[in-house]
């Protein structure tokens, strides 16, 4: 029988080609947290242990989305152990996922977006990051992995070779975005292939650095603001301009029905707001 350490390593190795590295790392952390909480090896964990652990996470005020992601990881891990005949019963299969909070995605008004742009005026890299996030709707990790060769200036689009789920797509950007992106790139004297560099100018920017910026923006402007807020804003503002939901979904790279439902509601809310402004 494999030890817990050997089992986790085998699980990670066998899924490395199918899942993104960040997703796998999160799943590994979840499994290790559970085993540490139970103080048991993986083959002795029970359904009751998992239920108690979820209650523990709720008591620690973990966000619902975080708990769900941890359960996804546990389900995949124990399903793998069952398929490999390392356990005779899957303790996670009968534990339901927490119910979703059906919240409408938060997005910025045009005035709030203008305030954000004004706040970073003169900071070439930060302004360029904001414009790319807003006008393309890309996820933060897609932005940090962008390379110069992915940008097609004459057609004004960026190739996203491996987005979420390892699916490629094309995103568009505006003339204004092009101006700010070129201003930032022309300020550099390096020959690195990344679109956005870290603070030392030695590699690609880290997502956490951008998140720190947005925490500062949120505090200074007094509004809820994360990099993902600009992705929601991208979708909402296109809806206000009349773009069909099906087109927006393609640009966002969404296939998950859950996301489709939420963005359909956002689309409807944005168009209702546009109608209210016309009346």
Q: Report if residue 93 sits inside a domain.
A: no
Q: Which residues contact 104 (CB under 8 A, 6 or more apart)?
A: 262, 265, 266, 269
> How many helices (H) and strands (E) are present in the chain, helices listed first?
12, 3
My answer on whether 159 and 245 are in the same domain is: yes
Distances (CA, A) of 117 to 105, 181, 217: 21, 14, 10
My answer on whether 116 and 251 are in the same domain is: yes
Chain-centre distance for alpha carbon 199 = 22
Q: Report if residue 20 sits inside a domain.
A: yes
My answer on whether 66 and 194 are in the same domain is: no
My answer on whether 154 and 262 are in the same domain is: yes
Domain residues for the domain of 267 are 110-278
My answer on whether 190 and 53 are in the same domain is: no
My answer on whether 264 and 145 are in the same domain is: yes
Provide the token pair at 115.
Answer: 């305030």
* DSSP characters over 49-75: HHHHHHHHHHHTT--HHHHHHHHHHHH
Q: Report if residue 152 sits inside a domain.
A: yes
As a three-state string, the secondary structure of 69-129 is: HHHHHHHHHHHHHHHCCCCCCCCCCCCCCCCCCCCCCCCCCHHHHHHHHHHCCCCHHHHHH
Q: Report if residue 209 sits inside a domain.
A: yes
How many Cα neighbours within 13 Å face the side chain of 31? 28
CATH no. for residue 37? Answer: 1.10.150
Q: CA-CA distance, 37 to 89, in Å (whole number)?
A: 20
What's the DSSP call for residue 160?
Answer: E
Query: What's this model's pTM, rounded to 2 decimal places?
Result: 0.61
End-to-end CA distance of the chain: 70
Do 221 and 119 contact (CB within 8 A), yes or no? yes
Do 30 and 69 contact (CB within 8 A), yes or no? yes
My answer on whether 168 and 30 are in the same domain is: no
Q: Report if residue 103 sits inside a domain.
A: no
Q: Phi-psi bin for 83: left (phi > 0), alpha (psi -120 to 50), beta?
A: alpha
Q: Report if residue 17 sits inside a domain.
A: yes
Q: Report if residue 253 sits inside a domain.
A: yes
pLDDT in tens, the chain (279 residues): 789 999 999 999 999 888 888 889 999 999 999 999 999 999 999 999 999 898 888 878 888 888 888 999 999 999 999 999 999 999 998 888 776 555 667 889 889 999 999 999 999 999 999 999 999 999 999 999 999 999 999 999 999 986 555 578 889 999 999 999 999 999 999 999 999 999 999 999 999 899 999 999 999 999 889 999 999 899 888 887 778 877 787 888 866 555 556 666 766 666 666 555 544
Provide the token pair at 114.
Answer: 């203008």
pLDDT in tens, 164-195: 555 788 899 999 999 999 999 999 999 999 99
Q: Which residue has the tokens 């950007």?
A: 173
How many domains are there within the chain? 2
Q: Which residue has the tokens 């954000």?
A: 116
pLDDT of 112 reads: 94
As a three-state string, the secondary structure of 206-258 is: CHHHHHHHHHHHHHHHCCCCCHHHHHHHHHHHHHHCCCCHHHHHHHHCCCCHH
As a whole number of Å, the CA-based R_g of the chain is 22
What's the DSSP call for residue 147?
Answer: B
């Amino acid at each position: 029988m494999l030890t817990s350490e050997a089992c986790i390593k085998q699980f990670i190795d066998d899924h490395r080609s199918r899942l993104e590295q960040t997703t796998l790392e999160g799943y590994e952390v979840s499994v290790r947290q559970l085993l540490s909480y139970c103080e048991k090896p993986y083959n002795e964990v029970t359904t009751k242990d998992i239920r108690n652990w979820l209650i523990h996470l709720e008591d620690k005020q973990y966000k619902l989305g975080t708990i769900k992601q941890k359960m996804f990881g546990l389900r995949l891990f124990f399903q793998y152990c069952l398929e490999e005949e390392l356990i005779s019963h899957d303790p996670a299969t009968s534990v339901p996922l927490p119910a979703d909070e059906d919240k409408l995605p938060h997005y910025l008004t045009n005035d709030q977006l203008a305030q954000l742009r004004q706040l970073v005026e003169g900071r070439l890299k930060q302004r360029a990051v904001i414009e790319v996030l807003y006008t393309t709707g890309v996820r933060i990790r897609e932005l940090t992995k962008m390379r110069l060769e992915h940008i097609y200036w004459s057609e004004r689009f960026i190739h996203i070779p491996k987005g979420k789920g390892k699916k490629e797509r094309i995103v568009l950007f505006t003339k204004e975005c092009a101006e700010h992106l070129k201003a930032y790139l022309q300020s550099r004297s390096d020959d690195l292939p990344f679109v956005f560099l870290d603070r030392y100018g030695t590699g690609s920017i880290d997502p956490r650095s951008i998140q720190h910026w947005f925490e500062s923006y949120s505090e200074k402007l007094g509004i809820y603001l994360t990099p993902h807020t600009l992705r929601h804003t991208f979708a909402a503002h296109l809806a206000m301009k009349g773009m069909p939901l099906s087109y927006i979904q393609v640009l966002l790279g969404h296939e998950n029905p859950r996301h489709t439902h939420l963005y359909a509601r956002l689309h409807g809310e944005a168009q209702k707001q546009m109608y209210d402004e016309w009346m």
